[in-house]
Amino acid sequence: MSYFYVYILETDAAPKRYYTGFTEALESRLVAHNEGRVPHTSKFRPWRIKTAIAFTDKKSALDFETYLKSASGRAFAKKRL
């Protein structure tokens, strides 16, 4: 069975800087972020996983990622994740 991950990264390089993303390969995606291969996160390295949620359904994972990137989703993540 394959899993789909929605994750939130955090860094000490910039206070309160987070990144939310989606992947099918969590560990290799974290490596990509920390090697600077992801333009949106390259200048705030190193990153660590704050929260990762596994889904068995790709659409549900992508819908949750979209929600977390909305204003209400960011508020939810800040309070609950």
The string of pLDDT tens digits covering residues 4-59 is: 999 999 999 998 899 999 999 999 999 999 999 999 999 999 999 999 999 999 99
Q: Are 3 and 55 in contact (CB under 8 A)?
A: yes
- What's the confidence (pLDDT) of residue 15? 84
Q: Mean of the pLDDT values across residues 60-75?
A: 98
CATH class of the structural domain 4-74: alpha beta
How does pLDDT run across 34-45, given as a tens digit for each residue? 999 999 999 999
Separation between Cα atoms, residue 34 and residue 12, nearest integer Å: 13
50, 11, 42, 30: CA torsion to nearest 10: -30
